[in-house]
Amino acid sequence: MLNEQKVSYSGVQPSGNLTIGNYLGAIKNFSAYSELYKCFYCVVDSHAITVRQVPAELRRRTYETLALYIACGLDPEKNTLYVQSHVPAHTELAWILNCFTMFGELSRMTQFKDKSEKHADNINAGLFTYPVLMASDILLYQTDVVPVGIDQKQHVELCRDIATRFNQLYPDTFTMPEPIISKSGMRIMSLAEPTKKMSKSDENANAVVYILDDKDTMIRKFKRAVTDSDTVVKYAEGKDGINNLMTIYSCFTGKTISEIEKEFEGKGYGDFKLAVGEACADALMPVQEKFRQILADKAYLEEVMKKGADEAAYYARKTLSKVKRKLGFVI
Ligand code: AQP
């Protein structure tokens, strides 16, 4: 909590073109907090370099992610929108919190295990300590709520453990954050392997629907989505592909699962897949239109980044000074 106002904090890595998983699991839900909370939404570029990035692409995606935040309804006047590497307090606190995080805790993180498998030639220390940097992002702003997809819940829980350990030694340092997982878009799965999370870094572009895909591409990808040999549109165990498409359709249309089952009674998977593609395109075309306008104005985006970084740094410095004083650093 900052000055009696509750704080919401979240971020997205500019590590690839953003997917409808990032949209439904995270970004779409961010603006709901703007009225009630002091909101910090960050483009977490320091996290992104835990995996090798092409510099020009990282730079381009950093602008694009910020433009998407705004296009998805985050008003820079009401929310602090900024780039992580512009506020050095994040990495400074991360070093301190590294000294309060156990090797065993980090070894248990599912994302570390998954990414180590995926990037076996680059299992760097940053990939291992990723959750500590994330804890630092969250704790710097005395955050109350962290809206994330369910894949990040384990990291927020570790953040709570780190905060608890620190607060036990140095009372009243950090606010205890709560993860907020949106029920509907909690875990959007790959269209090619529906038991696997849809990820922006997936090498198979047909497995992923990007927020910026054009309408025809969206529809084509949904048509090709892996389902099963059944023909009934019904949410059931073992029907991972259909369950995923029903979740996506429900998120974009606001319809419940039973309403969807009724709507497609007597119709086949083909009709259903087309409807999912159209609902996705209908929801995202206006976002794309705004995105293009915002992205065209680079000076505006740089102004937003600068203002956001100044605001964020003000609050971050307060927490960092408090932490340093408590630790016994001469400041
Ligand atoms: N498939 C998903 N379903 C629901 N939520 C998702 N999120 C990501 N994928 C899904 C949520 O999006 C936010 C930003 O994610 P991130 O960029 O910090 O990293 P991530 O979770 O590692 O996302 P990706 O797309 O899988 O990126 P890469 O491929 O680079 O690792 C988070 O709140 C996340 O929960």
Q: Whose CA is nearest to atom 14 of ligand 1?
A: 12
Separation between Cα atoms, residue 39 and residue 146, nearest integer Å: 10
Residue pair 261/287 in contact by the 8 Å Cβ criterion: no
Could you tell me which residues come within 8 angstroms of residue 259 by beta carbon, excluding any fewer than 6 positions away?
none
Question: Is the CB of 13 inside a 6 Å radius of any atom of ligand 1?
Answer: yes
Q: Is the pLDDT assigned to residue 183 strictly greater than 80?
A: no
**Strand ranges of the sheet holding 145-148, from the earlier edge strand across to the other edge:** 79-83, 38-43, 7-12, 145-148, 178-181
Strand partners, 197: 189
Check pocket membership of 255 for ligand 1, CB cut-off 6 A. no
Residue the block writes with tokens 């820079």: 76
Q: Which residues, 6 or more positions from 64, have their beta carbon under 8 angstroms from its beta carbon?
A: 14, 17, 18, 291, 295
Q: What is the mean pLDDT of residues 255-264?
A: 96
- Helix or strand holding residue 130 (H, E): helix 125-140
15 lines ligand 1 (CB under 6 A): yes
Say yes or no: CB of residue 26 within 6 Å of ligand 1: yes
Pocket residue to mutate for ligand 1, from 22, 44, 49, 130, most atoms within 8 A of Cβ: 22
Among candidates 115, 33, 34, 85, which has minimal Cα distance to 312?
85
Residue 3 confidence (pLDDT) above 90? no
Atom number, ligand 1, closest to the C-alpha of residue 189:
1
Amino acid at site 217: T
269 alpha carbon to ligand 1 midpoint, in Å? Answer: 27
What atom of ligand 1 comes closest to residue 13's alpha carbon?
A: 17
Q: What percent of the chain has pLDDT over 90?
A: 89
The pLDDT of residue 4 is above 90: no
* Residue nearest ligand 1's atom 12 by CA: 22
| Distance from residue 115's CA to the centre of ligand 1 (Å) | 13
pTM strictly above 0.85? yes
Cβ(21) – ligand 1 distance below 6 Å: yes
Span from the CA of 21 to the centroid of ligand 1 (angstroms): 7
Cα separation, 233 vs 249, whole angstroms: 12
Q: Is 244 in the pocket of ligand 1 (CB under 6 A)?
A: no
Nearest residue by C-alpha to atom 8 in ligand 1: 22
Residue (of 325, 36, 2) closest to 180 by Cα position: 36
Q: φ, ψ for residue 274 (rounded to 5)?
A: -65, -45
pLDDT digits (tens, 9 = 90+) for 47-100: 999 999 999 999 999 999 999 999 999 999 999 999 999 999 999 999 999 999
Whether the per-residue pLDDT at 201 is higher than 90: the answer is no
- What's the 267 CA to ligand 1 centre distance in angstroms? 33
159 CB under 6 A from ligand 1? no
Percent share of the chain, pLDDT over 70: 99
Ligand 1: distance of its center to the CA of 22 in Å? 5
* Ligand 1 within 6 A of CB of 68: no
Which residue puts its alpha carbon closest to atom 22 of ligand 1?
199
Q: Which residues are catalytic?
A: 115, 197, 200
| pLDDT, position 177 | 98
Q: Are 208 and 22 in contact (CB under 8 A)?
A: no
Instruction: Answer whether residue 185 shows pLDDT above 60.
Output: no
pLDDT at res. 29: 87
- Residue 51, both tokens: 């995996």
Model confidence at 312: pLDDT above 90: yes
